[in-house]
Amino acid sequence: MAELGALEPHYAEIDFADLVATSERIVLQGSNAKARARRTETVDLVIETLRGKISDEHVQMLEALRRTIDIFEDGYDRVLSALQKTEFGKLTPEQQLSICLCFASYQFDQVRIAIASRLSEANGALPYSMSFRDWRDRPIPPGAVVDMIVAAAGATLKMIAAAQKWDGAGHIVLPTFEILDESECMLGGINQTLAHSWRTWNRLEELHRFCGAPVSVTASEELQGAPPELKRIVRFGHSRYVIDQVAASYRAEDLMHQNQMEQAVAQSWRSKLAPPHRPAALPPDEIVSEAEFVAVLGLSEVLSFAIIDDMEELNGLRIVEWLRGLAVLSNIATFYDEERSDADPPVLVLSDEEIVGALERGGLSASKSAYFIDAVTFHQKSIDLFDAPLISVAGGKKLLFLPTLIGQNHTTVLLSLLSRQKVKFESKGKAFEKRVVELFNNAGIYARSFSFKEEGEEYEIDALVDWGGRLFLFECKNRTLPSARPVAMRDFEHEMRDAAKQVLRQKSGLEKWPDVVRIKFGKSIDGLEIVPCVLNNLPYARAEADDGVFFYDFSSLKRFMSSGSLRQRVVATFRGGDRRELRIPTIRIWNGAEPKAEDLLKQLKEPVALRICFAHMGKDVRTFNLDEETLVVSDEIHREDISEKAMAELAGRSWNGMRRQQARFVKKAKKSRQKEEREKQR
């Protein structure tokens, strides 16, 4: 406790409950009694050392945290105990993993069929989003369905590998793996239910510890009318900033989905497509799939620089090399899937040499191929099988986990992979600032980036815009959105708070040193209202200002500057394979024929993208059992499909009128194709 004593002069400034709650090893998932006893002894010693030196309220918070830790660990123990009582739990570890991984692959097959069916029902209209419905008619996005399949497989893999010590040198190595047909792996459904309980419990307890989500326990004596075997209910709520981040993730998914659909319409990528199974140069010279082409554009847009021109190596590989590695693995899985017969299972195991050979044909050197394979091979510290889709099998083999490779969104996976490796893009921040300034300058609006130093204080002004009698002050943040992990959400929220403080400090500097600013900015700012805003490169925004600071995103800003309304897109094929788009205006975001500062201020206060997202989001209550004695109840966020009809209603437009426009366009395309067919038959 010597370190704790050294901090005594600063006790009043430290939130000890938060410090303990967010410690990495404070909650021990495995039932290691000795480790838990040592941890509890340490926490008790901290409490007694601080008693009388910090407020009684903070001591009580620490004591409450100690009780909460016991609740969380009891939950993990109950899931493991329930697993051992099932038929699945009676199998050998090798059988369990073979069943689990094969079952996940067969499930993924079924989901893909359902997604294809939904897209075929769209009749040419590009959907804003799409979802399935559960047994209570609640919306579940396709991505969430795949996430559940993948998460259950990953959770089972980690639990069994740790228990059997199959994780030598960090990587998990399966001693054997048996490819099973669909009828042989149905027991995987039992395990998947418990794996889902484990993963959800883990997410909820981390939401409490890292994001402050409320938790409470109702004991049996307070439960009226409950089944006699039910002893307790554990109730979780949500924190506000988690909702904002969930909305951002929904918007990011929509933007990437729409970008993919638009590129599919454009068809411009085909001229650079390398023949399959042949050597291929790196982008921009050649691409190996449509998904790689979309990712080149998407990553360049997200990072605000052309990745094809960037020669910097990030943890050993250039960005285009990381991307090519993912694209090659995805192609291997896709080609196998397309060529297999109905009798062949959706499971693929290859030798390390075969994978290295494919990567070398894809333009990576032998050393970089080996490095890439190591980086994307599953181990105990992997978050999930999306970032690490290769599983080691004894004998120098790898299982390619098809559910995370087929149809992979390379942009999302690569950003997540680099984020998990703690790769930062601060060095690319100037490129983003330049894009923001150019966006306004190209519209004839005065904007500049500059810096100055006065009285030892440095002020970096990313973008200052003089428009309509106001100064829009943008603090530009070029970073990835947080993953679904609560610890990443917490870190992101802290970064946003720091950015808000930074832009307020800059605002103060502009107000304090107007003469210096006039020289640096090139114009006087006297008498102009300063509007501070944190501008994110990725789609994170807020519907409310925080201490006078707005939060907006570049995709919304770019759309605002380019068009006075949102548009519904309809795609149809005319004669000669000519694919055309019809864009039907929906929600207006300008009051007049061109954008004004008042229109932008209105969007900062209530971003239209968030208004659409929140209009389709809601909370519901979901439940699951840890065992027959413990029921968990949690507030969850769901989202309805953003349909054409919903957009028409938000815009106050006639849905029937929009449908007639669509029908006329599709009919015109059909007549064009029919005329072409008649001409060919003459």
User: Could you read off the pLDDT of 196-212 as tens digits, one per residue?
Assistant: 888 889 889 999 999 98
Residue 674 located in a structural domain:
no
Residue 189 located in a structural domain:
yes
pLDDT (0 to 100) of residue 250: 82
pLDDT (0 to 100) of residue 226: 76
What's the N-to-C CA distance of the chain in angstroms? 94
Print the domain residue range for 203.
Answer: 90-213
Going by pLDDT thresholds of 50, 70 and 90, the confidence category of residue 428 is low
Give every CB contact of residue 372 below 8 A, 6+ residues apart in sequence.
317, 321, 322, 325, 359, 364
Residue in 252, 330, 318, 253 with CA at minimum distance from that of residue 290: 330
Residue in 503, 449, 443, 435 with CA at minimum distance from that of residue 467: 443
Whether residues 74 and 196 share a domain: the answer is: no
Encoded amino acid at 650, one letter? L
Place of tokens 């490819």: 179
Whether residues 292 and 323 share a domain: the answer is: yes
More confident residue, 438 or 415: 438
For 27, list phi and psi in degrees, rounded to 5: -110, 120
For residues 534 and 559, give the distance between their C-alpha atoms in angstroms, rounded to a whole number: 17
pLDDT (0 to 100) of residue 262: 58
Q: Which residues of 83-113 are buried (b: 16+ CB within 10 A; e: fewer)?
A: beeeebbeeeebbbbbbbbbbbbbbbbebbe
Q: Which of 181, 213, 245 is the last residue of a domain?
A: 213
| Residue 628 Cα distances to 87, 132, 196, 232, angstroms | 17, 29, 16, 10
| Residue 303 Cα distances to 317, 428, 435, 496, 498, angstroms | 17, 7, 11, 18, 21
Residue 453 located in a structural domain:
yes
More confident residue, 457 or 567: 457
Instruction: Note the pTM of the prediction, 2 decimals.
Output: 0.79
For residues 521 and 503, give the distance between their C-alpha atoms in angstroms, rounded to a whole number: 17
Residue 651 located in a structural domain:
no
Coarse DSSP helix, strand, coil percentages of the chain, rounded to the nearest 5 percent: 55, 20, 25
pLDDT (0 to 100) of residue 125: 46
Mean per-residue pLDDT for 633-647?
A: 79
How much is the mean pLDDT over the chain? 85
Give every CB contact of residue 246 below 8 A, 6+ residues apart in sequence.
617, 637
Whether residues 412 and 303 share a domain: the answer is: yes
Do residues 333 and 420 lie in contact, with contact meaning Cβ atoms separated by under 8 Å?
no
Checking if the pLDDT of 627 tops 80, the result is yes
For residues 415 and 68, give the distance between their C-alpha atoms in angstroms, rounded to a whole number: 34
Encoded amino acid at 464, one letter? L
Going by pLDDT thresholds of 50, 70 and 90, the confidence category of residue 532 is very high
The mean-pLDDT minimum among 81-85, 283-287, 357-361 falls in: 81-85
Residue 507 located in a structural domain:
yes
Whether residues 468 and 520 share a domain: the answer is: yes
Place of tokens 């001229």: 271
Checking if the pLDDT of 682 tops 90, the result is no
pLDDT (0 to 100) of residue 590: 94
Residue 636 located in a structural domain:
no
Do residues 293 and 272 lie in contact, with contact meaning Cβ atoms separated by under 8 Å?
yes
For residues 486 and 247, give the distance between their C-alpha atoms in angstroms, rounded to a whole number: 15
Mean per-residue pLDDT for 292-304?
A: 83
Do residues 628 and 548 lie in contact, with contact meaning Cβ atoms separated by under 8 Å?
no
Checking if the pLDDT of 662 tops 50, the result is yes
Going by pLDDT thresholds of 50, 70 and 90, the confidence category of residue 426 is low
Going by pLDDT thresholds of 50, 70 and 90, the confidence category of residue 10 is confident
Checking if the pLDDT of 511 tops 90, the result is yes
Whether residues 451 and 553 share a domain: the answer is: yes
pLDDT (0 to 100) of residue 192: 80
Checking if the pLDDT of 260 tops 90, the result is no
More confident residue, 587 or 270: 587
pLDDT (0 to 100) of residue 118: 61
Going by pLDDT thresholds of 50, 70 and 90, the confidence category of residue 269 is low
Mean per-residue pLDDT for 324-352?
A: 92
Whether residues 332 and 437 share a domain: the answer is: no
Tokens of 11: 């006790």
pLDDT (0 to 100) of residue 496: 94
Top-ranked range on mean pLDDT: pick from 32-36, 260-264, 302-306, 309-313: 309-313
Whether residues 297 and 439 share a domain: the answer is: no
For residues 424 and 433, give the distance between their C-alpha atoms in angstroms, rounded to a whole number: 16
pLDDT (0 to 100) of residue 119: 56
Checking if the pLDDT of 272 tops 90, the result is no
For residues 170 and 394, give the distance between their C-alpha atoms in angstroms, rounded to a whole number: 15
Encoded amino acid at 164, one letter? Q
Going by pLDDT thresholds of 50, 70 and 90, the confidence category of residue 437 is very high
Paired with 638 in beta bridges are 618
Checking if the pLDDT of 218 tops 70, the result is yes
For residues 443 and 152, give the distance between their C-alpha atoms in angstroms, rounded to a whole number: 50
Give residue-wise pLDDT tens across range 360-399: 999 999 999 999 999 999 987 777 888 899 999 999 999 9
High-pLDDT (> 90) share of the chain, %: 37
Give residue-wise pLDDT tens across range 305-335: 889 988 988 889 999 999 999 999 999 999 9
Q: Which of 423, 441, 467 is the last residue of a domain?
A: 423
Mean per-residue pLDDT for 530-556?
A: 93
High-pLDDT (> 70) share of the chain, %: 90
Give residue-wise pLDDT tens across range 548-587: 999 999 989 999 999 888 877 777 888 888 888 888 778 8
Checking if the pLDDT of 619 tops 70, the result is yes
For residues 590 and 592, give the distance between their C-alpha atoms in angstroms, rounded to a whole number: 5
Going by pLDDT thresholds of 50, 70 and 90, the confidence category of residue 107 is confident
How many separate domains does the chain show? 4
pLDDT (0 to 100) of residue 124: 45
More confident residue, 155 or 520: 520
Residue 670 located in a structural domain:
no
| Residue 562 Cα distances to 255, 558, 584, angstroms | 16, 6, 15
For 654, list phi and psi in degrees, rounded to 5: -80, 120
Whether residues 406 and 387 share a domain: the answer is: yes
Whether residues 359 and 316 share a domain: the answer is: yes
Range list of H helices, 312-428 = 319-339, 352-361, 366-375, 410-420
Range list of H helices, 165-187 = none
Give every CB contact of residue 77 below 8 A, 6+ residues apart in sequence.
31
User: In this structure, are strands 578-588 and 446-454 parallel, antiparallel, or unpaired?
Assistant: unpaired
CATH assignment of the domain containing 452? 3.40.91
| Residue 356 Cα distances to 250, 263, 308, 331, 367, angstroms | 35, 30, 23, 14, 9
Going by pLDDT thresholds of 50, 70 and 90, the confidence category of residue 128 is very low
For residues 299 and 281, give the distance between their C-alpha atoms in angstroms, rounded to a whole number: 19
Residue 367 located in a structural domain:
yes
Q: Which of 213, 242, 258 is the last residue of a domain?
A: 213
Checking if the pLDDT of 164 tops 80, the result is no
Whether residues 492 and 601 share a domain: the answer is: yes
Whether residues 404 and 308 share a domain: the answer is: yes
Place of tokens 């039907």: 584
Going by pLDDT thresholds of 50, 70 and 90, the confidence category of residue 116 is low
Whether residues 413 and 439 share a domain: the answer is: no
For 453, list phi and psi in degrees, rounded to 5: -135, 125
Checking if the pLDDT of 257 tops 80, the result is no
